[in-house]
Structure 1
Amino acid sequence: MKAFGKILGLGLLGLLLIIVALGFALTHLFDPNDYKDEIRQLARDKGHVELTLNGDIGWSLFPWLGLELHDASIATLNNPKVPFADLQMLGLSVRVLPLLRREVQMSDVRVEGLNLTLTRDASGHGNWEDIGKPLPGPNVASAPPAGTPGEPVDNAPSKPEGSERSVKLDIDSLTVNNARVLYTDEKTAQSYTAESIQLSTGAVHEGVNIPLKASAFISASQPNMKARTELTGELRFDRKLKRYNLEDMRLSGETSGEPLAGKTVTYAAQGQVLVDLAANVASWSSLKVSANQLRALGELNLRDLDKQPQLSGALSIAQFDLRTFLEGVGQPLPATADANVFKKLELVTRLEGTPNSLALEDLAVKLDDSSFSGRVAVADFAKQALRVSLKADTFDADRYLPAKSDQAKGATAARQAEVQQQEAAVAGAGTTQLPDAPTKQAWSTDKLLPVERLRTLDLQAELAFGALVLDKLPISDAQLSATGQNGLLALKTLRGGLYNGTFEAKGTVDVRPAVPQIGVNTKINRVPVEHFIKRDGPDKTPPVKGLLTLNSDLTATGNSQKALVDTLNGTASFTINDGVLVNANLEQQLCQAIATLNRKQLSGEQRGKDTPFQELRGSLVIRNGVASNPDLKARIPGLTVNGNGDLDLRVLGMDYNVGIVVEGDQRAMPDPACQVNERYVGVEVPLRCRGPLELGAKACRLDKDGLGKVAATLAGNRLKDKIDEKLEEKLGDKVSPELKDALKGLFKR
């Protein structure tokens, strides 16, 4: 606005100079072309500009004072050889007699081929700032101060501002053809150009509506942008009240350029614009904006124009296809897990802002199938300080996550094939060979975090969801609080309800180092474990069910699933209550072991496929993606389980040694072959579990070597019992009990 005021002032100054020059010519009643040198000197002395008149001056006298000026230019006195304005032709005519009444009555005013060249140098000084400034005189510094002896002092009272009647304008029309404005900033190497400027108005009278139409081609250098634009409306102004209205304003056109990646955006804006400089306010009411298929309504208000302007207003955006819109402006969204998201977006909000901030208050947003309400603000544009406080009814975050790359899909498919192959191999659970350990990588190498963006992020976020889906887990009453500044992001809390249980997570993401560092602490309380280990493929049955309670404290580095798992370190403890080992009749396998030790065959039919357990618990120490579990314990009806082993999280494989203390078949009518006589009670039967984690207990087999040792132990115990019986028969009451025990002890060695 300031630069525009300078340019407008320049135009008025030019008109004034022409009128003064014309008056000088008329005074002499000669051809003004004979007095070009005098006119130029008058421009230097009175207007403090360098006026160059290369063309002829055409004029008429009465009753219209007509003037045509051809091929003229204006420069500052500081740089007289470099004009900042030139024109091909200026034509106007003024009624003579109204000038005596301080009224300017003009017929048509025409400007052809006007060029304005505005330049700001490397020090920040603009060439337009020197317009009308005289050159410093040689003795300016030594000029005597006002009131010194010998200098007359003008004691006449100054006239109050505005006491003289203002000049009244009356112009039939104003036409500008083929004008051009060039602005260059040498410090930023940025330039803007408006070319082929066309301007036409109706009759120009103060206090009445003036029809206005303007068009131009606008371009910018960095980034390279071009736009064609047209403005229409009716202008009304009151100079005394400093009030300006542009009614029924409509701005339309189209733009393209580098940021739009070769796409073209068609835009339009309309409404009623008011600027009141006396009250330092401005407004844009009945606002309507469109850009391609986007449509918006609203109003904008500015106050404190003389200080730091304050923005207020409202905005409503009708439902539109955000994905298609962004593709149309050359900013396509990245591929998402669900290609149908970002299809529907609508928004209603109240606006508040300053030159360096903007807040969307009382925000109501509908995105696809979700509704949000709250506040979103950029507290500082320079720092990109984002403030978010939102509540949502439902939101499925999985749909909006980045789609898997082909590499990730290939790795997943390879591992699924390996698991299915192992699963087919153990179809006859308990009788087949021990499964092989998995080898296929289970994790993607796709980048997870936009590191460069996160390093500059200034974030404070408070989010609440009535229902949130995250990693296929339906979370109820979810609460999320997060901050981010200077490359350190903190998840203060993420908590909610999950399958009638609860969970809470806290953590940090540090992207300041070259490799991101992540730390997370989780607490899960009585959540069905099967929902964490859902399987892909035809058989989606989880290997274990039960209520999981988990506490973990983990760290990792990297920016992909694979990198994070490979560097995973920390500790965890877990308990699963009221559970079931699915499709794994562990008790049946043990009955087979007991029958083997009894040298009998099971006569009963195989019972149910699953093995229920009361509790499964243990602790994990994780080093570089491998979790060691030294204290696995389980309570199963008729069995007590102790185990130790490793979980290789890199390939989601397990390798365990499990010892089962047998209590035997406790049913009212047990299988005779599976009965546990007195000498078997307390004996630990060994199992080995190895293979993909998805197989669960189906990957467990009797450890035949260990079972042989158990059989040898049991045989030794049987022999000892027989010897004890024989000694008891032979010795009877002939020796003391102490001697009996000593003799029996000889056979234990």
Structure 2
Amino acid sequence: MKAFGKILGLGLLGLLLIIVALGFALTHLFDPNDYKDEIRQLARDKAHIELTLNGDIGWSLFPWLGLELHDASIATLNAPKAPFADLQMLGLSVRVLPLLRKEVQMSDVRVEGLNLTLTRDADGHGNWEDFGKPLPSDQTDASTTPGDSNAGKPETSGTEDGNERPVKLDIDSLTVNNARVQYSDAKSGQTLNAESIQLSTGAVHQGATIPLKASGFVSIGQPNLKVRSELAGDLRFDRQAKRYNLDDMRLSGEASGEPLGGKTLTYAAQGQVMVDLAKNVAEWTGLKISANQLRALGELSARDLHSTPQVSGGLSIAQFDLRTFLDGIGHPLPATADPAVFAKLEVVSRLQASPSSLSLDDLTIKLDDSTFSGRVAVEDFARQALRLNLKADTFDADRYLPAKSDEAKGAKAARQAEVKQEEDGAVAGAGTTPLPNAPSQVAWSNDKLLPVDRLRALDIQAELAFDALTLDKLPIKQAQLQAQGQGGMLTLQTLRGALYNGSFEARGNLDVRPAVPQLGINTKITRVPVEHFIKTQSPDKAPPVKGLLTLSSDLTATGNSQKALIDTLNGTANFTINDGVLVNANIEQQLCQAIATLNRKQLSGEPRGKDTPFQELHGSLVVRNGVASNPDLKVRIPGLTLNGNGDLDLRVLGMDYRVGVIVEGDQRAMPDPACQVNERYVGVELPLRCRGPLELGAKACRLDQDGLGQVAAKLAGNRIKDKLDEKLDEKLGDKVSPELKDALKGLFKR
């Protein structure tokens, strides 16, 4: 028995020596380079690829089945002379015995100088789609070969439906050096190149954690963009379950190029990534993203990966300077009225997204001193279908308006100088200074107001609410805005709110389909202090008129600048100002001067209060091409009634009015004798002329000397008539009836 064991041992040793000897003979006496043609033909017949072996083939047999290829390339059978991939060197080795157990145990796998060339032709067909496919003639031959019992039968996979045990993969490491991928699309003209690709892993065992590192440079042709990226993490996968995890994923790099305006974007991303192809889902948890100074946290999940992916999750962007960030990626914000805006932006939201849409729900935006909450969505990227439903605490819209151009600033300065010159000469008081000149400087800017091209393509529905909204320096409380637009027609359904204890509401539409935009607007203002609508040249100067304004208007205009809109302004308006004051304009004093002139006397008292209160001012306007005609101005002042007609030239913010004043004279307990109204003056209308910049208000009014002469002539005629009436009364006495006496007096009226 002992001898038998010894003999068996010697036999096994001899067998092992024979195997080693055969391996040595095969690897040293057999040269695979002599069989390159056979290997190429085998690749055509079995793998349906065109294999080119320009370099030597090195190999070993036992205990490792080793293979080393140099200067090799593969192509599709349809285009054998256009390599799909080529490489400088591929080195790998596999343990022989584990192969018998369907286990692939490999040593280090190295790939040097791999180049992949991917192309899509003008018909949208990619060269990779033909990889591994036989020529059409080969397919026909194979399908008609008799005796092929497997013809027409679906292939079974040993990993899923077949009964064979799945192949177990085991690699010590994988290294890819200096790889390159080139992609071009003849249909779109787009190109993409990935260069200097480096990949290295630790031991690759299914179900175990695999350390992974990768890096490379990517350049895109249209528009030109260059990206450098580095990726690291721990990879785990289960091929049977089709589940892949990349734990502790860290991605970083830089991007530059035309989309960034020549600037550089430094980015980084971290988190845990999971893809489950069996369940058709993916997750990114512990998400951390940075892009220059932007920092974000969140989590994302995706479903329906094989059809139309749907993404959901949450995102929180820490406070950052939006203006600086956009400037740093080559997209600077336009200059704004307040250059300090957009300095603080913070966003928190839940999100839903698909390839064609994006929705931000439960949204909170903190922008500078304002907080918005609600929902923002783009329902269709192609249609730019924007949906807004937001509520804000406070928002000063004036700060975010575009800054005025140098041209607009120059025009404003010229008009301010003109108004200042006329204001210096306009003295409220006796009214002896000359009538101010009509303004000539345009009051409006030629700056472009609307992004017409964007508005034409926009599909929008917006509902906005503000606890406090500042617009054109007007503090609006509980403001509400509803608007919609599609196909170039935008409709302001309502804009309303409380304003200085009054209210306002506006409706309108904007048609940007024509070459020149067309605007229509209806407004209603109820008991709002009028002084807040009147601009003065200096903030510390009082407005020319105060009071509670009630206004309704229906106006149209065309153009895309302030000047164009005013020049084409047409429509109607009605206005009333109650409980008002004409500031720094003592009309009563001026009228006393007129009465004293008619009485041929001099005023003895000092001028009284500098303002003129009134109970009501009302009238109507008919606007034609920027000039508003006001034929029925009426003002009720205690002791006075003013009737006026004239024009408001909105193009230069000027006025030209003729005003008739019916006065009762000095009604004080101790009246100025020169300002007392004789009975024969009762009902006489004294004329004023008001001309000059609208900002001057009543300070632009003077006695109309020509009209005053006509009044004096009329009064003189009335005096003669009164004397004749007295003579008739004396002569006729009671001799005639009252009717005949009145008829005789009437003769003198002709």
Q: 1:151 to 1:41 in 2, by over 3 A?
A: closer
- The alignment partner of 2:571 has SS state of strand
Residue 470 of structure 1 corresponds to: 471
Matched, 1:566 2:567: yes
- The separation in 2 between residues aligned to 1:289 and 1:107, in whole angstroms, is 37
Alignment map for 1:137-286 (pairs within 5 Å)? 137=137, 140=140, 161-286=161-286
Residue 388 of structure 1 corresponds to: 388
Q: 1:652 to 1:317 in 2, by over 3 A?
A: same
Alignment map for 1:256-405 (pairs within 5 Å)? 256-405=256-405
Alignment map for 1:611-630 (pairs within 5 Å)? 611-630=612-631
Deviation at 1:602, TM superposition (A): 1.5
Deviation at 1:279, TM superposition (A): 1.1
Residue 703 of structure 1 corresponds to: 704
TM-score, normalization by structure 2: 0.94
Q: 1:538 to 1:463 in 2, by over 3 A?
A: closer
- The separation in 1 between residues aligned to 2:418 and 2:604, in whole angstroms, is 36
Structure 2: give runs of 5+ residues left out of the alignment.
1-22
The AA in structure 1 aligned to 2:367 is L
The AA in structure 1 aligned to 2:51 is L
- The separation in 1 between residues aligned to 2:73 and 2:142, in whole angstroms, is 35
The AA in structure 2 aligned to 1:465 is F
Deviation at 1:741, TM superposition (A): 3.0
The AA in structure 2 aligned to 1:444 is S
- The separation in 1 between residues aligned to 2:529 and 2:68, in whole angstroms, is 91
Q: 1:190 to 1:139 in 2, by over 3 A?
A: closer
- The alignment partner of 1:137 has SS state of helix
Deviation at 1:734, TM superposition (A): 3.1
- The separation in 2 between residues aligned to 1:156 and 1:719, in whole angstroms, is 129
Runs of 4+ aligned structure 1 residues displaced above 4 Å come to 25-29, 141-146, 150-160
Deviation at 1:540, TM superposition (A): 2.4
- The separation in 2 between residues aligned to 1:131 and 1:157, in whole angstroms, is 19
- The separation in 2 between residues aligned to 1:118 and 1:103, in whole angstroms, is 33
- The separation in 2 between residues aligned to 1:507 and 1:478, in whole angstroms, is 16
Residue 54 of structure 1 corresponds to: 54
The AA in structure 1 aligned to 2:635 is A
- The separation in 2 between residues aligned to 1:415 and 1:34, in whole angstroms, is 96
- The separation in 2 between residues aligned to 1:526 and 1:40, in whole angstroms, is 93
Residue 592 of structure 2 corresponds to: 591
Deviation at 1:136, TM superposition (A): 1.5
The AA in structure 2 aligned to 1:630 is P
Determine if contact 1:534/1:541 at 8 Å carries over to the other structure.
no
Residue 89 of structure 1 corresponds to: 89
The AA in structure 1 aligned to 2:499 is L
- The alignment partner of 2:382 has SS state of coil
Determine if contact 1:177/1:197 at 8 Å carries over to the other structure.
yes
- The alignment partner of 1:140 has SS state of helix
Residue 18 of structure 2 corresponds to: none
Give a deviation string over 1:591-633, Cα, whole Å, max 9, x none: 1111111112222221101111110000000000000001111
- The alignment partner of 2:137 has SS state of coil
- The separation in 1 between residues aligned to 2:739 and 2:267, in whole angstroms, is 108
Aligned residues: 723
- The separation in 1 between residues aligned to 2:451 and 2:369, in whole angstroms, is 26
Residue 19 of structure 1 corresponds to: none
Deviation at 1:162, TM superposition (A): 4.3
- The alignment partner of 1:184 has SS state of strand
Residue 514 of structure 2 corresponds to: 513
The AA in structure 2 aligned to 1:172 is D
Determine if contact 2:27/2:59 at 8 Å carries over to the other structure.
no
Residue 526 of structure 2 corresponds to: 525
Q: 1:145 to 1:378 in 2, by over 3 A?
A: farther
- The separation in 1 between residues aligned to 2:180 and 2:77, in whole angstroms, is 23
Give a deviation string over 1:495-537, Cα, whole Å, max 9, x none: 0000000000111111111111111110000000000003122
Q: 1:518 to 1:607 in 2, by over 3 A?
A: same
Give a deviation string over 1:107-150, Cα, whole Å, max 9, x none: 1100000000000100010000001111122792996699xxx9
The AA in structure 2 aligned to 1:31 is D
RMSD: 2.0
Deviation at 1:156, TM superposition (A): 11
Residue 16 of structure 2 corresponds to: none
Determine if contact 1:534/1:540 at 8 Å carries over to the other structure.
no
Residue 688 of structure 1 corresponds to: 689
The AA in structure 2 aligned to 1:704 is Q
Q: How much identity, in percent, do the aligned residues show?
A: 79
Deviation at 1:662, TM superposition (A): 1.6
Deviation at 1:29, TM superposition (A): 6.6
Give a deviation string over 1:285-332, Cα, whole Å, max 9, x none: 000000001000000000122332211100001111111011100100
The AA in structure 1 aligned to 2:169 is L
Determine if contact 1:216/1:230 at 8 Å carries over to the other structure.
yes
Residue 668 of structure 2 corresponds to: 667
Determine if contact 2:428/2:584 at 8 Å carries over to the other structure.
no
Determine if contact 2:27/2:61 at 8 Å carries over to the other structure.
no
Residue 601 of structure 2 corresponds to: 600
Q: Please say which of residues 505-514 and 158-167 is displaced more in the overlay.
A: 158-167
Q: 1:440 to 1:571 in 2, by over 3 A?
A: same
The AA in structure 2 aligned to 1:247 is D
- The separation in 2 between residues aligned to 1:78 and 1:155, in whole angstroms, is 23
Give a deviation string over 1:231-254, Cα, whole Å, max 9, x none: 000100001111100000000000
Residue 34 of structure 2 corresponds to: 34
The AA in structure 1 aligned to 2:530 is V
Residue 15 of structure 1 corresponds to: none
- The alignment partner of 1:493 has SS state of strand
- The separation in 2 between residues aligned to 1:83 and 1:104, in whole angstroms, is 29
Give a deviation string over 1:630-650, Cα, whole Å, max 9, x none: 111111100111110000000
Q: 1:268 to 1:152 in 2, by over 3 A?
A: closer
The AA in structure 2 aligned to 1:545 is K
Give a deviation string over 1:190-214, Cα, whole Å, max 9, x none: 0111100000000000001000000
Residue 580 of structure 1 corresponds to: 581
The AA in structure 2 aligned to 1:55 is G
The AA in structure 1 aligned to 2:272 is Q
- The alignment partner of 2:584 has SS state of coil
Give a deviation string over 1:51-98, Cα, whole Å, max 9, x none: 000000011111111111000000000111111100000001111111
Determine if contact 1:271/1:286 at 8 Å carries over to the other structure.
yes
Q: 1:532 to 1:57 in 2, by over 3 A?
A: same
Residue 548 of structure 1 corresponds to: 549
Determine if contact 2:428/2:586 at 8 Å carries over to the other structure.
no
Q: 1:594 to 1:384 in 2, by over 3 A?
A: same
Give a deviation string over 1:128-177, Cα, whole Å, max 9, x none: 0001111122792996699xxx9868999997714211111111100000
Structure 1: give runs of 5+ residues left out of the alignment.
1-22
The AA in structure 1 aligned to 2:38 is E
Deviation at 1:735, TM superposition (A): 3.5
Q: 1:158 to 1:298 in 2, by over 3 A?
A: closer
Q: 1:713 to 1:139 in 2, by over 3 A?
A: closer
Q: 1:129 to 1:695 in 2, by over 3 A?
A: same
Q: 1:545 to 1:552 in 2, by over 3 A?
A: same
Residue 728 of structure 2 corresponds to: 727
Residue 5 of structure 2 corresponds to: none
Determine if contact 2:27/2:60 at 8 Å carries over to the other structure.
no
- The separation in 2 between residues aligned to 1:312 and 1:127, in whole angstroms, is 35
- The alignment partner of 1:474 has SS state of strand
- The separation in 2 between residues aligned to 1:365 and 1:155, in whole angstroms, is 61
- The separation in 2 between residues aligned to 1:297 and 1:230, in whole angstroms, is 20
Determine if contact 2:68/2:91 at 8 Å carries over to the other structure.
yes
Q: 1:28 to 1:41 in 2, by over 3 A?
A: farther
